[in-house]
């Protein structure tokens, strides 16, 4: 335990040459031993000396040098900006990352915030990733994809509402959530549908798509829709509730369960009967929504497992498809409880 806690930082990290010197062998031998190179047989005593020397010096190979020499990396870049919030996507991406690690990739979650479009693609390309996975909200342009592929990326995969030219596309379409909600409300006889659009910036992207989904479904069924900006604060919900009757709405899709719970409480405080006067539906199937009275109706979202996504990326890396592939990852269906 009395190991020196802060070793002199002046001297830089030991290299394989240092190990070689200490072990009395050449750098080549060090490389053979530490990588267990099968094509070359090194005597056991030598192996031990090399290992001991590496251990003693605290030798750690230099990833940059290695991949420079190798001409490729096992790096998968995943921009992390503007990920949909909530526990579900979080689990999904955690699982995805874990599975990629299992497949021996180094996952680099690159905070693309503050870079726009092609700048970001350039920054990722500098790392010479073997694959790039872009979650919704971080889609590169066709030009960005081209740049990445030219710089050696064997697969560029985008998740989101619409494909990018040249990239694999895994549909993860938030519009479906809105559509499922709208269809549910319409089926239950509602014809004047409000759609909560969060004032908060984070889910702005999702919000627009969910609204689009509602509109598409409602337009086809002759229902009218009204966008309702609302902040995630009690005052904002109360203000919206106060002018509720004036809107003449008989149903509302509240973006997600949290906004739905907030709005439903405000409506109740205002004396609006849910679901008699106004049906309320959220999305995400939060457990908490089931604790309210009336129990909150919701849209349940089923995403493919992170593991399947990881396997897909791996397959695209190993046998790059001639043409971009296109798969569907998300299903959304309304769950009727009591609030609608």
Partner DNA sequence: TTGAAAGCGGTACCAT
Partner DNA sequence: ATGGTACCGCTTTCAA
Give the one residue of 38, 39, 246, 287 binding a copy of itself; rule: CB under 8 A.
Answer: 287
21 touching DNA, by CB under 7 A: no
Burial class (CB in 10 A: 0-12, 13-18, 19+), 192: middle
Residues 256-275 that bind a copy of itself (CB under 8 A): 258, 261-262, 265
**Of these partners, a copy of itself, DNA, none, which one is at the site of residue 222 (CB under 5 to 8 Å by kind)?**
none
Residue 21 in 3-state DSSP? Answer: helix
CA gap 311, 7 in Å, rounded: 42
**Of these partners, a copy of itself, DNA, none, which one is at the site of residue 114 (CB under 5 to 8 Å by kind)?**
a copy of itself
**Of these partners, DNA, a copy of itself, none, which one is at the site of residue 16 (CB under 5 to 8 Å by kind)?**
DNA
313 touching a copy of itself, by CB under 8 A: no
Residues 6+ apart with CB under 8 A from 39: none
What distances in angstroms separate CA 137 from CA 3, 141, 312, one per listed residue? 47, 12, 20
113 touching a copy of itself, by CB under 8 A: yes
Exposure of 311 in the CB half-sphere (CA atoms within 13 A): 5
101 touching a copy of itself, by CB under 8 A: yes
In 3D space, the residue among 29, 24, 51, 49 whose CA is nearest the CA of residue 41 turns out to be 29
Give the one residue of 17, 52, 60, 226 binding a copy of itself; rule: CB under 8 A.
Answer: 60
Give the one residue of 2, 4, 12, 36 binding DNA; rule: CB under 7 A.
Answer: 12
Nearer to DNA, 68 or 291 (CB): 68
CA gap 153, 264 in Å, rounded: 48
28 touching DNA, by CB under 7 A: yes
Residues 6+ apart with CB under 8 A from 69: none
CA gap 177, 330 in Å, rounded: 9
DSSP 191-211: -EEEEEEESSSTTHHHHHHHH
Give the one residue of 28, 142, 226, 331 binding a copy of itself; rule: CB under 8 A.
Answer: 142
CA gap 235, 23 in Å, rounded: 71
17 touching a copy of itself, by CB under 8 A: no
Nearer to a copy of itself, 87 or 271 (CB): 87
Residues 64-103 that bind DNA (CB under 7 A): 65-66, 68-71
DSSP3 helix / strand / coil % (the chain, rounded to 5): 45, 20, 40
Give the one residue of 3, 8, 22, 46 binding DNA; rule: CB under 7 A.
Answer: 46
**Binding mask 152-191 vs a copy of itself (x if CB under 8 A, - otherwise)?**
x-x----------xx-------------------------
106 touching DNA, by CB under 7 A: no
Residues at the interface with DNA (CB under 7 A) = 12-13, 15-17, 24-32, 34-35, 37, 39-43, 45-46, 59-62, 65-66, 68-71
């Amino acid at each position: 335990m009395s190991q020196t806690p802060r070793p002199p930082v002046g001297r830089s990290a030991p290299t394989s040459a240092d190990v070689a010197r200490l072990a009395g062998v050449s750098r080549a031998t060090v490389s053979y031993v530490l990588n267990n190179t099968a094509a070359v047989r090194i005597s056991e005593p030598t192996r031990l000396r090399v290992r001991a020397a590496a251990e003693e010096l605290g030798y750690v190979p230099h990833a940059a040098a290695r991949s420079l020499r190798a001409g490729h990396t096992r790096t998968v870049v995943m921009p992390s900006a503007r990920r949909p919030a909530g526990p579900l996507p979080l689990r999904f991406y955690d699982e995805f990352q874990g599975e990629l690690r299992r497949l021996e990739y180094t996952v680099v979650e690159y905070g693309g915030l503050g870079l726009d479009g092609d700048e970001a693609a350039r920054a990722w390309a500098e790392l010479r990733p073997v694959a790039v996975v872009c979650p919704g909200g971080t889609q590169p342009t066709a030009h960005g994809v081209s740049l990445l592929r030219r710089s050696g990326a064997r697969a560029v995969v985008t998740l989101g509402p619409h494909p990018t030219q040249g990239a694999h596309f895994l549909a993860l379409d938030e519009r479906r959530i809105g559509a499922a909600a709208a269809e549910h409300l319409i089926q239950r006889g509602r014809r004047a549908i409000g759609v909560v659009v969060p004032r908060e910036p984070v889910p702005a992207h999702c919000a627009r798509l969910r609204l689009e989904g509602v509109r598409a479904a409602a337009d086809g069924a002759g229902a009218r829709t009204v966008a309702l900006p609302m902040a995630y604060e009690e005052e904002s919900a109360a203000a919206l509730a106060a002018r509720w009757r004036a809107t003449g709405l008989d149903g509302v899709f509240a973006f997600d369960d949290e906004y739905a719970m907030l709005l439903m409480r405000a409506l109740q405080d205002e004396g609006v009967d849910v679901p008699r006067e106004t049906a309320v539906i959220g999305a995400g199937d939060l457990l908490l929504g089931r604790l309210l009275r009336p129990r909150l109706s919701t849209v349940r979202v089923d995403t493919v497992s992170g593991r399947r996504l990881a396997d897909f990326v791996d397959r695209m890396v190993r046998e790059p498809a001639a043409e971009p592939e296109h798969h569907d990852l998300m299903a959304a269906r309304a769950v009727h409880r009591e609030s609608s």
